[in-house]
Chain A
Amino acid sequence: MHISPVLWQFLVRWLTNSALFPPEASAISPQMDAFYFFLCAISAVGLIAVGILVFGFSIMYRKEKNPVATQIEGSTLLEATWTIIPLALFMICFVWGALLYFRIYDPPTNAMNIYIVGKQWMWKAEHPGGQHEIDSLHIPINRQVQLTMISMDVFHSFSIPAFRVKREVIPGRYSTVWFEATATGTYHLFCTQYCGTDHSAMIGEIVAMTPEDYQKWASGSTSGASLAQNGERLFASLGCNSCHSGEATARGPNLAQVYGSQLQLVDGSTVTANDAFLRETILNPSTRVTAGYAPIMPTYQGQVSEEGLIDLVEYIKNLNSNYRIQQTLTASQLSPGQGGASTSGSSSPAMNDRPQQTLGAGQGRPAKAGKTAPSVPGTVNQ
């Protein structure tokens, strides 16, 4: 794959300007294009071979030149040849394609994570720092970015041709894709899975910026609360901390540092507590009961939106210690019955004694003692 860099640059520039190729704006784009060249080359060879045979024989053996045909049964040697050679070429394509596929769909460990929620007919991007975008995505170049995506309704597909990446965005489960942008600029974002009336309008922009510009953008665009902070509010308002209080006698497992760990479930299986697991457990807890605990967690299906789930997952991802959970407990000012879901029938007595405190300790917001908390982003009321 070592073509002279000068020749490669020339090819790239010429091809991009000829509008045959989308811009090569990510680390994987040149690899994809190289593979494409190879495929085009063997296709051209194959087509020319067939073309020469067909045209050549038609002319050489046209009736005027060759009035009597020679009956030929076949040739095992030829059959073998034109079985094995195409098979070998296809196997090369298979291996190369598989390598490329694994490279694109196996995310690297230290990628920066951004959440994407697709819904008819818009894309929402949620940066962990609390930046929310609609139909656009700002990213820094030269940084590995992973997208964790989910749909709120039907199948969509998140496609960035310039980066040569695409992944289906599925309702009910997370899908991920990663890339590393290498060239600043604005690139097309398309939804490529037919999703109804305004499928062609579900497009947007990917804005790749230098790291400095990205920082500037990020600090200027934040909504004020990171996803984890939103998650914290939800955690409290939905009453999660009544069971997941972090205490030894708690009814629910401790969530500090649970993200990424190996969990043993009641049926004996071991699972990794990743994003998908956390989301699934919130929605279908009785299918994933941790060993040693009773299956009493209620389902939150229908009570929390996908954005809310993302916030909760972010919150849990960032839970380093029990102290953090305690902070959430004390920061909550909701009494049972107000906002969010209640646990199965019983109110948590501990919360009644909770002294009213400011929401989000240390954020400098005025206390809202006695009033119902403002509707928390992420619950279905919005």
Chain B
Amino acid sequence: MSTIVTLPDQETARLPKLSYLNSEYGLKSWLLTGDHKRIAMLYLFSITFFFFIGGAFAGLIRLELLTPLPDLVASDTYNKLFTMHGVIMIFLFLVPSVPATVGNFVIPIMVGAKDLAFPKINLLSWYLYVAGATFLVFALVTGGVDTGWTFTTPLSTHYLNTHVITAAMGVFIAGFSSIFTGLNFIVTIHRMRCPGMTWFRLPLFCWSNYAASILMVLGTPVLAITLVLVMLERTIGIGVFDPTKGGDPLLFQHLFWFYSHPAVYIMILPGMGVISEVISTFSRKRVFGYTAVAFSSVAIAVFGFFVWAHHMFIMGVSNYSALVFSLLTMLVAVPSAIKIFNWSATLYKGSITFETPMLYAFGFMGLFTIGGLTGVFLGSLGMDIHLTETYFIVAHFHFVMVGGMLMAYLSGVHFWWPKMTGRMYPESMSQLSAVTTFIGFILTFFPQFIVGYLGMPRRYHAYPPEFQVLNVLSTAGATVLGIGYLLPMLYMPWSLKYGKIAGSNPWQATGLEWQIQSPPLTENFVDIPIMDHEAYDYDWLAHQTEHEVTTVG
């Protein structure tokens, strides 16, 4: 199969003498860095670590669910497993995944700046992440928390004696990490664009992250104050959410979902940005309908703020407010559909190759489409009555978050790996991983749609025996999926030492980040560039290639 990969002559190629990786040495230079690229690497290391902890919990959950009886772990332990799986995966992995690693690394370069607007705040973001994660780990090792990631009151405030406050504190602190990252991105994209870089010349990755950053900045503080109220309620017990003391448990639901719905768009939008870049690069074409995709990102962010009560359709909101939220949910589904079609149309008359990032992107297209469409099932009021709180929901959000977002994240990491490290990962291993992940994913989560329609509730430790076959299928798939995720852990570190030297532009891509050395200098650019061409301008690139020097060192 042909490829667009263009590497320098491996006999003579060396990594650049000076780059952000070797400009300074020592632990202090990493832990006190202001360099957005080093901070991105710090994040990459941390979130990978937590991904595997969350993944281990998922493995245990699936192992328990092999049999209908609660025979592997005690009920309380199981409840802690799915709670910690959710909390870690959402707050410590998915929310920071693309923005904090790939976004941090690439956005300043994409806009033509030498760093993000506020480098010290960027570092503070990472420390807040670590602090929040530490609280969560502390909660974990001292006995765990079993509220569910949704911290539903009054269960979490009055009926559990696990480490709820510690866990809530961890999420609270990690939330500020997210807020500051979003703040940094918004200001950077507004104020640090190089001369000639108009809004509509920005790569779509910037648009998507910008939209996600709006959500981070406006939504996360509401989660923060909600958690403060839960923590106060647990300590003082006034009854702000307790009906026996005049409080309203539904108030918590509204406040919580006001953030947590935009949160899912915070998670998916940066992934969509990756897909735009990858599909463009591997079809050698500008993205079809650039303006539509850009505005769709912002539309998803805006509409995303107005649909939160679709998580509460059966909880006693009035029929009429349910009607309004269902209508808005249908509206928020449309921009995502537009994007999928635009990406598909980008392939038309392109020149397509199937390197690993593209394989992950195709996986995203299929799985996100399924996940998104099942969202329409859930947004339809009547259907939601039967499907909500069952495994159908579990399948839906895993399709969009894992089949969608995680695949997009892996696509992005593979795509920008040569830029971040200067080395290529081994192509056949990575393609094998991508395919394994895809197959494993479908095997794991598709049966869950079926068992959900059959009525199997979520967060169940034991279940009626007639659901076993589907659960066994799901666990079997999880094994395959696990292998798919473990393989990169092997070949990526391997590539750091043995991977081929990538050169500045192995993919022949158009972004500014591909016109500088790999890995980049600490200051990215010696001189601030002037942008004189449109985004995804492959004709411009063709002219550049004539002048380009491919030896590095």
A interface with B by C-beta (< 8 Å): 19-22, 32, 35-36, 39, 42-43, 46-47, 50-51, 53-54, 57-58, 61-64, 66-75, 78-79, 82-83, 86-87, 90-91, 93-94, 96-106, 120, 153-155, 157, 159, 161-162, 164-168, 170-173, 175, 188, 190-201, 203, 284, 301-302
Contact = CB atoms under 8 A, between A and B. Distances in A.
A82 B352 contact: no
Interface stretch (B206-214, B279-287, B406-414): B279-287
Contacts of B388: 166, 192
A90 B450 CA distance: 22
B522 interface: no
B389 A193 contact: yes
A58 B282 CA distance: 10
B4 interface: yes
The 10 closest A-B pairs by CB, nearest first: A100-B382, A172-B243, A161-B455, A97-B380, A101-B381, A57-B347, A192-B389, A74-B289, A53-B344, A69-B284
B382 A167 contact: no
Contacts of B342: 74, 79
A90 to B, nearest CB: 4
A194 B454 contact: no
Of listed B76, B313, B376, residue having the most chain A CB within 10 A: B376
Nearest to A57: B347
Given A47-B366, A47-B373, A70 B285 contact: yes
Interface in B320-357: 322-323, 326-327, 330-331, 333-334, 337-338, 340-342, 344-345, 347-354
B319 A105 contact: yes
B70 interface: yes
Given A164-B385, A197-B79, A22 B340 contact: no
Given A43-B373, A46-B373, A155-B155, A97 B384 contact: yes
Interface string B266-292: 000000000000000001111011111
Contacts of A61: 283, 347-352
B246 interface: yes
Nearest to B287: A74
B373 A66 contact: no
Contacts of A57: 344, 347-348, 350, 352
B314 A168 contact: yes
A46 B539 CA distance: 34
B385 to A, nearest CB: 5
Given A35-B380, A155-B249, A19 B454 contact: yes
B198 interface: no
B74 to A, nearest CB: 9
Nearest to B4: A63
Contacts of A198: 75
A105 B243 CA distance: 23
Given A70-B285, A197-B76, 13 more contacts: A39-B376, A63-B351, A73-B288, A86-B337, A96-B380, A154-B154, A162-B455, A168-B314, A171-B244, A194-B79, A196-B159, A197-B79, A201-B75
Contacts of B292: 74, 79
A104 B152 contact: no
Contacts of A36: 377, 383, 386, 453
Contacts of A43: 370, 373-374, 376-377
B159 to A, nearest CB: 5
B121 interface: no
Interface stretch (B35-43, B98-106, B230-238, B460-468): B460-468
A32 B386 contact: yes
A199 B79 contact: yes
B505 interface: no
Q: Give the size range of B's interface with the partner.
A: 35 or more
A315 B384 CA distance: 35
Contacts of A70: 285, 349-350
A282 B373 CA distance: 46
B506 to A, nearest CB: 16
Contacts of B190: none
A323 B454 CA distance: 51
B108 interface: no
Contacts of B338: 79, 82-83, 86
B459 interface: yes
Given A43-B370, A90-B330, A166 B389 contact: yes
Contacts of A203: 464
Contacts of A63: 2-4, 351-353
A161 B451 CA distance: 11
Interface of B: 2-4, 70, 75-76, 79, 146, 148, 152, 154-155, 159-160, 243-244, 246, 248-250, 283-286, 288-292, 313-316, 319, 322-323, 326-327, 330-331, 333-334, 337-338, 340-342, 344-345, 347-354, 362, 365-366, 369-370, 373-374, 376-377, 379-386, 388-390, 450, 453-455, 457-464, 466, 469, 538-539
A194 B314 contact: no
Nearest to B393: A192
A100 B455 CA distance: 18
Contact of B454 (A21, A46, A66): A21
Contacts of B331: 87, 90
B366 A51 contact: yes
A267 B283 CA distance: 69
A154 B455 contact: no
B453 A22 contact: yes
Contacts of A83: 334, 337-338
A98 B283 contact: no
B283 A94 contact: no
A162 B453 CA distance: 10
Contact of A54 (B291, B366, B385): B366
Contacts of A301: 244
A73 B286 contact: yes
Contacts of B381: 94, 97-98, 100-101
11 contacts: A20-B454, A32-B382, A63-B352, A74-B289, A75-B288, A86-B338, A94-B379, A106-B319, A167-B385, A170-B249, A200-B462
Contacts of B146: 196-197
A170 B250 contact: yes
Contacts of A91: 330
A292 B97 CA distance: 63
Contacts of B352: 57-58, 61-63, 66
Nearest to A44: B373
Between A20, A61, A101, the greatest number of chain B beta carbons within 10 A of the residue's beta carbon is seen for A101
Contact of A94 (B291, B315, B330, B354): B330
A173 B384 CA distance: 22
A238 B539 CA distance: 87
A302 B370 CA distance: 49
B56 to A, nearest CB: 21
A68 B539 CA distance: 11
Contact of B351 (A67, A94, A106, A154): A67
A162 B461 CA distance: 21
Contacts of A53: 341, 344-345, 347
Contacts of B327: 94
B382 A39 contact: no
B365 A50 contact: yes
B326 A97 contact: yes
B389 A157 contact: yes
Contacts of A54: 344, 347, 362, 365-366
Given A36-B453, A62-B353, A166-B314, A98 B326 contact: yes
A194 B313 CA distance: 16
Contacts of A100: 380-383, 385
Nearest to B386: A164
A199 B289 contact: no
Given A61-B351, A63-B351, A67-B351, A79 B289 contact: yes
